[in-house]
C-alpha cells in the first residue's frame, strides 16, 4: 500500500541527495531524501578579524560571525568544522593563511571562509574571502559595506552566505536573504506578518483588526496576496510590501481565497465560491480574463502551480468525499488524483525545481497530520515529520532544499523550518499562534 521513496540513489531527479549520516527514522522506511549530492563540503568559517578597536565594531563583527555561521549551517549543504579545531592565529589577509594548519588531520577543511572588518565613514565594512584550501584557489573575494545597525549587519552576513552557497553548495543560490510571510494572532487578531528566513525581524504587514489569512508572495516579492474579512466578506487583496498599499482584487461575492501567482508573472489562480461552491479559477492580476478550471461538487481550493513548467496546477478537492490532492493541466484537463491511499491530504506546495510536492496528510493509521513529500513523476512519497504532533502546511523555500511548516509539537501552533530530508528542524516563532507560512522568492540582488 505505502509506496516509499526508494533509497535516494534511485531518485530520477536528484534534487536532493542523501546525507550519509541521516538515518532512516523507522525500520520500515527506506526513505532517505538528500540535500546535497555526494559528500558535503567540509568548510571552516573563521571569526573575522577586526581592524580597529571600537566597541561598535566589536559588536557588529560578533553578530556578523554568528549570523554567517548559522546561515551556512542552516544551508544544509556543508559540514562545518567546529571552531575549536581552528589554529590560534586566524587569518585576516591572504598572506596570513597557513594552509598546512587548515588541512591538518583534525581540521581537514576543504574550504575556508575568513576576512576582516572595520568601520569606515560611518559604515560597517567586511572584506570576505572564500578559498579552496587544497588548491589554494580564491573562490570569493568581496567587500561589503552597510549601515551599522543590526538589520544591516544581518543582511550583509546573509548576502555573503548566499554567495558561498552558490559557489560551493551545488550551484544553487542560498536562501539566507529570503523572507517568510505568515499569519499571527499575537496582537489579538489574525494579521499577516513577515520575518527573515531565520525568524529575525518579525513584523506585522497588516493591521485590519479582522481575520486575514492565506498569504502568498508575488513572483518579484513586491506584493503579498491574502484573504481578509476586514470589509465583511472574505475577499482577496494585494498588499504592497514596501509602501503597504492595499489593492482589492475581487468582489464577486462568496469566498475568494488561496491565491497562487503563476510562474509567468501574469496570471493568478485562486478559489472562489461565486457559484456557491468553491472552484478553482485563473485570471490575470486584475481579475480579468477569468477562466473556471474545476466543475465538481465539493470544495476545490489551495491551487499551486508547477513552478518549473507553469503548465500544471495541483490543488485540494473534496470531490471524492474527503480532501485529497489532485492535479490538472492549466486548462483543467488531464485531471487526476495524486494519492489514492485515503485519509486527508491538504496544503500542497510544489518545489521550485518541479520535482516534489510537499503536503500535509492525515492518514488513518496515525490520526495526525504530518508533512509528506511526493515525487510527482514516480508517485512515491516519504514522511518528513513524526513527532506525535500535528505538522501542517508545508511550503518550499526557493532553493528547493528547505521547507517551512506549522507544528503544535510544543503546544501552540508555531512556524518551523527544516531541511527537505526532515532534518535540522528549527522553531522560528514563539509569540501567539503562528500559522500558514509562505516562503518568498529570491530577492533581486
Confirm or reject binding of residue 277 to other proteins (CB under 8 A). Answer: yes
Stretch that binds other proteins, among 84-92, 200-208, 232-240, 422-430 (CB under 8 A): 232-240
**Interface pick for other proteins out of 50, 103, 233, 424 (rule CB under 8 A):** 233
Residue 242, number of CB atoms within 10 A of its CB: 8
Confirm or reject binding of residue 216 to other proteins (CB under 8 A). Answer: no
**Interface pick for other proteins out of 36, 110, 435, 440 (rule CB under 8 A):** 435
**Interface pick for other proteins out of 91, 115, 215, 278 (rule CB under 8 A):** 278
78-107 residues near other proteins, rule: CB under 8 A? none
Yes or no: say if 157 and 150 are a contact pair by the CB < 8 Å rule: no
d(CA 329, CA 198): 35
Closest CA to 423 of 397, 394, 402: 402
Which CA distances in Å does 412 have to 54, 361, 407, 424, 427?
A: 43, 19, 8, 20, 12
β-sheet bridge partners, residue 326:
315, 337
Query: What is the closest distance, in whole angstroms, from the C-beta atom of residue 378 to other proteins in the complex?
Result: 25
Stretch that binds other proteins, among 8-16, 169-177, 316-324, 332-340 (CB under 8 A): 316-324
- How many residues of this chain interact with other proteins, rule: CB under 8 A? 37
Q: Which residues of 327-366 are buried (b: 16+ CB within 10 A; e: fewer)?
A: bbebebeeeeebbeebbbbbbbbbbbbbbbbbbbbbbeee
Confirm or reject binding of residue 254 to other proteins (CB under 8 A). Answer: yes
Query: What is the closest distance, in whole angstroms, from the C-beta atom of residue 301 to other proteins in the complex?
Result: 4
Q: Which single residue is written with the C-alpha cell 528549527?
A: 426
β-sheet bridge partners, residue 349:
358
Residue 80, number of CB atoms within 10 A of its CB: 18
Segments in 195-319 forming alpha helices (H):
none
Stretch that binds other proteins, among 62-70, 96-104, 114-122, 210-218 (CB under 8 A): 210-218
**Interface pick for other proteins out of 204, 213, 338, 389 (rule CB under 8 A):** 213
Confirm or reject binding of residue 298 to other proteins (CB under 8 A). Answer: yes
Helix, strand, or coil here: 299?
A: coil
Binding mask 149-188 for other proteins (x = CB under 8 A): ----------------------------------x-----
Query: What is the closest distance, in whole angstroms, from the C-beta atom of residue 204 to other proteins in the complex?
Result: 18
Beta strands in 335-419 (DSSP E): 336-337, 344-350, 356-362, 369-375, 381-383, 391-396, 402-407, 414-419
Q: Which single residue is written with the C-alpha cell 506578518?
A: 193
Measure CA 376 to chain center: 19
Q: Characterize the bridge pairing of strands 381-383 and 223-228.
A: unpaired
Q: Which is nearer to other proteins, 110 or 391 (CB)?
A: 391
Query: What is the closest distance, in whole angstroms, from the C-beta atom of residue 253 to other proteins in the complex?
Result: 8
β-sheet bridge partners, residue 216:
225
Q: Which is nearer to other proteins, 271 or 382 (CB)?
A: 271
Confirm or reject binding of residue 393 to other proteins (CB under 8 A). Answer: yes
d(CA 434, CA 239): 19
d(CA 8, CA 19): 10
Q: Which is nearer to other proteins, 274 or 308 (CB)?
A: 274
318-357 residues near other proteins, rule: CB under 8 A? 318, 321-323, 344, 346-347
Q: Which is nearer to other proteins, 177 or 383 (CB)?
A: 383
Confirm or reject binding of residue 360 to other proteins (CB under 8 A). Answer: yes
Confirm or reject binding of residue 316 to other proteins (CB under 8 A). Answer: yes
| CA atoms lying within 13 Å on the CB side of residue 295 | 5
Confirm or reject binding of residue 276 to other proteins (CB under 8 A). Answer: yes
Q: Which residues lie near other proteins (CB under 8 A)?
A: 183, 190, 211, 213-214, 227, 232-234, 254-255, 257-258, 271, 273, 276-278, 298-302, 316, 318, 321-323, 344, 346-347, 360, 362, 392-393, 435-436
Amino acid at each position: 500500500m505505502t509506496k516509499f521513496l526508494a533509497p535516494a540513489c534511485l531518485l530520477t531527479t536528484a534534487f536532493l541527495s542523501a546525507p550519509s549520516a541521516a538515518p532512516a527514522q523507522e525500520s520500515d522506511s527506506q526513505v532517505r531524501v538528500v540535500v546535497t549530492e555526494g559528500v558535503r563540503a567540509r568548510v571552516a568559517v573563521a571569526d573575522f578579524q577586526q581592524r580597529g578597536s571600537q566597541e561598535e565594531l566589536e559588536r557588529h563583527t560578533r553578530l556578523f560571525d554568528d549570523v554567517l555561521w548559522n546561515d551556512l549551517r542552516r544551508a544544509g549543504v556543508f559540514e562545518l568544522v567546529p571552531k575549536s579545531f581552528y589554529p590560534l592565529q586566524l587569518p585576516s589577509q591572504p598572506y596570513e593563511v597557513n594552509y598546512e594548519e587548515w588541512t591538518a588531520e583534525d581540521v581537514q577543511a576543504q574550504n575556508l571562509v575568513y576576512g576582516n572588518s572595520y568601520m569606515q565613514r560611518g559604515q560597517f565594512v567586511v572584506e570576505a574571502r572564500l578559498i579552496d584550501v587544497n588548491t589554494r584557489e580564491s573562490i570569493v573575494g568581496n567587500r561589503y559595506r552597510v549601515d551599522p545597525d543590526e538589520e544591516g549587519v544581518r543582511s550583509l552576513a546573509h548576502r555573503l552566505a548566499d554567495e558561498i552557497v552558490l559557489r560551493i553548495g551545488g550551484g544553487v543560490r542560498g536562501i539566507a536573504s529570503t523572507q517568510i510571510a505568515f499569519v499571527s494572532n499575537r496582537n489579538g487578531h489574525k494579521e499577516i506578518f513577515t520575518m527573515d528566513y531565520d525568524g529575525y525581524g518579525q513584523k506585522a504587514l497588516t493591521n485590519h483588526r479582522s481575520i486575514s489569512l492565506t498569504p502568498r508572495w508575488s513572483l518579484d516579492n513586491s506584493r503579498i496576496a491574502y484573504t481578509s474579512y476586514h470589509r465583511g466578506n472574505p475577499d482577496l487583496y494585494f498588499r504592497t510590501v514596501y509602501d503597504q498599499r492595499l489593492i482589492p482584487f475581487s468582489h464577486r461575492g462568496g469566498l475568494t481565497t488561496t491565491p497562487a501567482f503563476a510562474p509567468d508573472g501574469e496570471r493568478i489562480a485562486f478559489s472562489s465560491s461565486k457559484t456557491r461552491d468553491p472552484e478553482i479559477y485563473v485570471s490575470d492580476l486584475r481579475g480579468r480574463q477569468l477562466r473556471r478550471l474545476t466543475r465538481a461538487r465539493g470544495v476545490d481550493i489551495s491551487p499551486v502551480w508547477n513552478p518549473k513548467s507553469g503548465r500544471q496546477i495541483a490543488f485540494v478537492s473534496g470531490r471524492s468525499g474527503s480532501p485529497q490532492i489532485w492535479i490538472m493541466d492549466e486548462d483543467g484537463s488531464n485531471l487526476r488524483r495524486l494519492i489514492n491511499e485515503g485519509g486527508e491530504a491538504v496544503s500542497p506546495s510544489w518545489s521550485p525545481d518541479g520535482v516534489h510536492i510537499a503536503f500535509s496528510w492525515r492518514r488513518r493509521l496515525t490520526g495526525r497530520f504530518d508533512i509528506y513529500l511526493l515525487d510527482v513523476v514516480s508517485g512515491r512519497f516519504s514522511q518528513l515529520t513524526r513527532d506525535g504532533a500535528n505538522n501542517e502546511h508545508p511550503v518550499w523555500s526557493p532553493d528547493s532544499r528547505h521547507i517551512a511548516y506549522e507544528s503544535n509539537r510544543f503546544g501552540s501552533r508555531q512556524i518551523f523550518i527544516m531541511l527537505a530530508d526532515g532534518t535540522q528542524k528549527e522553531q522560528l516563532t514563539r509569540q501567539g499562534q503562528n500559522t500558514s507560512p509562505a516562503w518568498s522568492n529570491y530577492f533581486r540582488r
